[in-house]
Amino acid sequence: MGSLSAGHLCAILSGLGWAFAVILFTRSGERIPPPVLNLFKGIIATLILIPILLISSRDALAAWDSTVWWLVIVSAVIGITISDTLYFMALNRLGAGMNAVVACVYAPTMTLMAVVFLDESPTVWILVGGSLILTGILVGGLTRPGPGREKRDLVTGFAYGVAAMVTVAVSVVILSGQPWFKRPENLIPVTTVRLMFGSLLLLPPVLLHRRYRAVFQSLLRPSRLWAFAVPASILGGALAMLLWLGAFTLIPMTTASVLNQFSTIYIFILATVVLKEPLTKRRAAAIALALGGAIVVTVGSA
């Protein structure tokens, strides 16, 4: 019971932390291109996690064999190098509120992959709660493009967003089926190595692109660009990532992914309060539906 409760808490708190980070990343993305922002996020988060790794989990890292290393690196390429860049591309085109709507693909994709590849069986509670969450998100998503955005932005943003959710699901499935992934001592090593390799692979394309290189060089010293990018990287790249992976080590992938989806509601609220995006009656109904769904999943799975 204790582990299950801890897993639920990790999943919910990771969604909350990511929601705050998304608002900050939205502001950062106004001036920082997606690949550069993803690289900067990874660097800051890795610098935070490396000292923690060296102090607490150095022995666990030394015990990894070549198979573990390759699986973590492949997960990093798919889930960070590719998926996070696609996510930021969608965020730039859709804004925080609409991007949260597209993220409704996350939970059903994770659940489908867990059922197909990990032989998990979603309970009735998860299916009912997940359906409520997705219904609420879809209700909130049937809106017109926001100010300064065109229909084309919605189409391309939706495509990037869906691709981001599918790739991040694949990156988790690669790890979730491995017994060593469930061991608590591997949480910090896995998180740190994923961030490090996923970010390093972004370095060549950023440095080879003239505009990206110029922005990245400006980020190497304190500036106004740090105001949103640094706290977003700490909150989303390090803390939320640790909680996110931690949830998958404690509870089934289906349960964790549905509770992660709760971040969509946090983003709706924060986008209204912080970014002044309009909160219509349709979006208010969406929040109520999704809140109910999250409660159903939490209570029914406990």
Task: Write b or e for each residue in 183-218: b if 16 or more Cβ atoms lie within 10 A of its Cβ, otherwise e.
Answer: eeebbbbbbbbbbbbbbebbeeebeeeeebeebbee
**pLDDT value at residue 23:** 94
Nearest to 190 by CA among 21, 77, 53: 53
Question: How crowded is residue 30: how many other Cβ atoms within 10 Å of its Cβ?
Answer: 8
177: DSSP letter: T
CA–CA separation, 149 vs 64, rounded Å?
Answer: 48
Q: Mean pLDDT of successive 10-residue segments in the chain (302 residues)?
A: 68 91 93 96 95 86 91 96 96 83 76 73 75 74 61 81 91 88 89 94 95 95 93 94 89 80 81 80 75 69 54
**pLDDT value at residue 291:** 67
209: DSSP letter: S
**pLDDT value at residue 4:** 52
**pLDDT value at residue 2:** 42
Q: What share of the chain is helix, strand, coil (3-state, %, to 5)?
A: 85, 0, 15
CB 253, CB 118: distance < 8 Å:
yes
Start-to-end CA span in the chain (Å): 7
CA–CA separation, 168 vs 181, rounded Å?
Answer: 16
Please name the amino acid found at residue 223.
S
CA–CA separation, 227 vs 223, rounded Å?
Answer: 8
**pLDDT value at residue 24:** 95
Tokens 């190098």, residue located: 81
State how far the alpha carbon of 117 is from the alpha carbons of 17, 156, 180, 241, in Å: 28, 29, 17, 23
201: DSSP letter: T
CA–CA separation, 133 vs 108, rounded Å?
Answer: 11
**pLDDT value at residue 300:** 64
CA–CA separation, 50 vs 31, rounded Å?
Answer: 28
CB 244, CB 18: distance < 8 Å:
yes
The tokens describing 200, both together, are 């390093």
